[in-house]
Amino acid sequence: MGVAISDLVTGLYATISILAALRHREETGQGQHIDCSLLDCQTAAMANQAANWLVGGVVPKPMGNSHPNVVPYRVFEVADGHIIIACGNDGQFQRLCQAFDMKDEATDPRFLKNVDRVLNRQAIDDLIEERTSKMSKQRALELLEQHAVPGGPINNIPEVFEDPHIQARGLLKTLERVDGTAITAPGFPVKLSETPARSDIAPPILGVHTQEVLQEMLMLKQDELDILRKKGIIG
């Protein structure tokens, strides 16, 4: 997916651990050491895939964007892009069959129960994509919504930030840097009623704190900084 997801997940686990440690300190007055491993957190985040092996003895295989335990639950091609269909239970599958006029599939014993659809994954996925590939993204999503079937568009990055929901929630923040240029980035995604998160400081430009660090932490004098600057060592 192009994102360092293990780093992000480990940060979240670390935050939860810090909060738990602070709570323990409040109750007992004792601090503690927190050992947070990237590998451990990544392994814990395997969730249902870990359970497939540990409980069911099934070795998961690469499946692209398909859900390993629920069918149909993946990305499907439409005439002008892609959508995701996420049928989480048998009732939703029946409504999907109504939405896409799949009367035969609704009563086919291969597809009646989720366990059957998992065993016949390729067959039902192909039959669904035969229909979605002839529809526009908008039409396919309209049918899903009309029949209360979970689904949504697969957006590119510009489309994500143009989404009315993202804009209404005020997720994007634009901040001014010290050189007067503006930078836009996602803000904190959680809304706190009493202590809302603030994003007031823009990411620093390269070298903006060099002199401050060298003077306050390394105790360099101004004439020493001037020499480093003349030699091109600092900007």
* 108 a catalytic residue: no
How long a stretch of residues is the chain? 235
Whole-angstrom distance, CA of residue 21 vs CA of residue 7? 21
Q: Are 71 and 117 in contact (CB under 8 A)?
A: yes
DSSP 65: T
Is residue 59 left, alpha or beta, with left meaning phi > 0 and alpha meaning psi from -120 to 50? beta
Instruction: Report the 10 Å Cβ neighbour count for 221.
Output: 10
Whole-angstrom distance, CA of residue 235 vs CA of residue 72? 57
Virtual torsion, Cα 12, 13, 15, 20, nearest 10 deg: 150
DSSP 208: T
Q: Are 34 and 10 in contact (CB under 8 A)?
A: no
Q: Which of 7, 40, 163, 226 is catalytic?
A: 7
Instruction: Give the residue from 153, 144, 152 showing the smallest Cα distance to 95.
Output: 144
Catalytic residues: 7
